[in-house]
């Protein structure tokens, strides 16, 4: 989350932390850049309540009712729930009760800014990423805020110093150690973080953290601070821990902030993607050129082969070769019209009920030189089904059957002239 421009709003007024410089700002300024506003809502009361029964969804209503009964608010209020922890017989909350007028004025101002303006409550920074067994102290002016979490529940405490001198703040540390010791004993085991919203003397908070470590049961580790001239602040680190999810703006405003923060990352990814696509395009272009060259070479080889075939086809038959070719053709036909294979074919093709009576080879009918077999037979049942199956088998073997004297045949008798089909003779 960007921390380039932070506005800190406390009882000390409006302060702007921008570009490594701390400056005073007017209340509710007109912003010229995206900003993060950290506020305690005019020191609105923070606290932690336990409830016997109730559901987390109703936590805000339960908190407001008890705060009104305790006199923390006498008018309309808005409850910001920072943390809810379910207990065995109820729940516990960490929250801030903000006067409604203060709440509305801050949110209305942030929504009217020309650029994005995210509002983060002090309580959200105090509790951000504090897990079980952990705690954090945040100093805001003269007030020390303590928040921790353990299996026993949520723990919030605070102590106010009379002034801002070392003696006053050290007295507040001693008070906070005393009231926090029972809470720490319930399960705060890890070293706690010490943070300061704004310190005129960074060494002062280091001394306060050392004093806490010397008095308390768990040590304090100062959170990394950022220098703003002579001043120092841990706000950038705290804001980074909280993130935009802790903002109290409407969901649309938080989404707009997130989307703008993602622009730089998306631009980087887009640039990398464009570079990758460029490299891929260069590679594909090279592959296409190679493929086109291969295709052209294949076409040249095919053209050369076609030319050779055409030359062979155009070549004249050598003188004296015709008798040899005629002899080869006749030898091929003689092998085709061999009676022995034909008898075997007829034996396999003739099914039950078909009896072959005669097979003879002739040189064709009068006026024709086409050779062929004539087969005579009889269908013992007198049906044509068995004859049809015989003819189908002969056609499948490459023979054409032509009826002979079909009109003079006795019932059940058949006579066919079998000629090799052109494809079979070639």
Say if residue 336's pLDDT is above 90. Answer: no
Instruction: Give the pLDDT score at 1.
Output: 63
Assess contact for 148 and 155: CB atoms under 8 A: yes
pLDDT mean over 373-385 = 80
| Number of C-beta neighbours around residue 101 at 10 A | 13
pLDDT beyond 60 at 267: no
pLDDT of residue 286: 76
How does pLDDT run across 144-194, given as a tens digit for each residue? 999 999 999 999 999 999 998 999 999 999 999 999 999 999 999 999 999
Backbone angles phi, psi at 388, to 5 degrees: -60, -40
For residue 402, the model assigns a pLDDT of 85
Q: Give me the pLDDT at residue 127, please.
A: 97
Vertex 202 angle, CA 201 and 204, to 5°: 70
Per-residue pLDDT averaged across 262-272, rounded?
59
Q: Residue 425: what pLDDT?
A: 53
Non-local (6+) Cβ contacts of 306 within 8 A are none
Lowest mean pLDDT among 19-23, 72-76, 79-83, 147-151: 72-76
Q: What is the pLDDT of residue 262?
A: 55
pLDDT recorded at residue 360: 85
| pLDDT tens digits for range 4-41 | 899 999 999 999 999 999 999 999 999 999 999 999 99
Q: Which of 362, 370, 380 is nearest to 421 (CA)?
A: 370
What ranges do the domains of the chain cover? 5-262, 328-425
pLDDT at site 111:
94
**pLDDT of the residue at 396:** 87
Residue 120: pLDDT over 60 = yes
Question: Rounded mean pLDDT of 385-394?
Answer: 85
**pLDDT for res 70:** 93
pLDDT of residue 178: 97
130 against 275, higher pLDDT: 130
Mean pLDDT taken over the chain: 86
**pTM (2 decimals)?**
0.62
pLDDT at residue 269, rounded to an integer: 60
In terms of average pLDDT, the best of 209-213, 297-301, 362-366 is 209-213
pLDDT value of position 226? 94
Residue 173: burial class (beta carbons within 10 Å; 0-12, 13-18, 19+): buried
């Amino acid at each position: 989350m960007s921390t380039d421009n932070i506005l800190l709003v406390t009882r000390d007024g409006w302060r702007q932390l921008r570009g490594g410089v701390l400056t005073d700002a007017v209340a509710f300024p007109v912003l010229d850049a995206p900003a993060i506003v950290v506020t305690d809502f005019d020191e609105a009361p923070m606290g932690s309540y336990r409830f016997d029964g109730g559901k987390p969804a109703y936590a805000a209503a339960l908190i407001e009712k008890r705060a009104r009964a305790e006199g923390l608010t006498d008018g309309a209020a808005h409850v910001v729930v920072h943390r809810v922890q379910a207990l065995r017989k109820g729940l516990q909350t960490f929250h801030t009760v903000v006067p409604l007028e203060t709440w509305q004025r801050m949110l209305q101002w942030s929504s009217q800014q020309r650029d994005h303006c995210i509002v983060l409550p002090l309580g959200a920074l105090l509790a951000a990423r504090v897990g079980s067994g952990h705690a954090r102290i945040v100093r805001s002016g003269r007030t020390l805020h303590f928040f921790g979490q353990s299996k026993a529940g949520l723990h919030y405490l605070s102590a106010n110093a009379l002034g801002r001198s070392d003696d006053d703040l050290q007295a507040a540390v001693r008070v906070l150690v005393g009231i926090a010791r029972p809470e720490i004993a319930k399960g705060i085991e890890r070293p706690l973080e010490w943070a300061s919203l704004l310190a005129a003397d960074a060494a002062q908070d280091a001394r306060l953290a050392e004093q806490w470590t010397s008095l308390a049961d768990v040590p304090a580790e100062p959170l990394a601070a950022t220098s703003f001239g002579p001043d120092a602040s841990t706000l950038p680190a705290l804001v980074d821990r909280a993130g935009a999810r802790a903002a109290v703006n409407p969901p649309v405003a938080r989404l707009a902030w997130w989307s703008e923060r993602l622009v730089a990352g998306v631009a980087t990814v887009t640039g990398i993607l464009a570079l990758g696509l460029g490299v891929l395009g260069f590679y594909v272009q090279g592959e296409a050129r190679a493929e086109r060259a291969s295709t052209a070479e294949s076409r040249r080889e095919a053209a050369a082969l076609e030319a050779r075939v055409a030359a062979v086809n155009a070549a004249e038959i050598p003188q004296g070769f015709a008798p040899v070719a005629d002899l080869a053709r006749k030898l091929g036909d003689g092998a085709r019209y061999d009676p022995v294979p034909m008898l075997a074919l007829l034996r396999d093709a003739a099914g039950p009920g078909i009896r072959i009576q005669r097979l003879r080879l002739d040189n064709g009918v009068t006026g024709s030189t086409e050779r062929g077999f004539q087969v005579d037979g009889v269908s013992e049942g007198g049906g044509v089904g068995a004859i049809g199956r015989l003819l189908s088998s002969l056609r499948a073997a490459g023979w054409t059957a032509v009826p002979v004297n079909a009109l003079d045949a006795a019932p059940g008798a058949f006579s066919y002239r079998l000629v090799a089909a052109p494809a079979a003779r070639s």
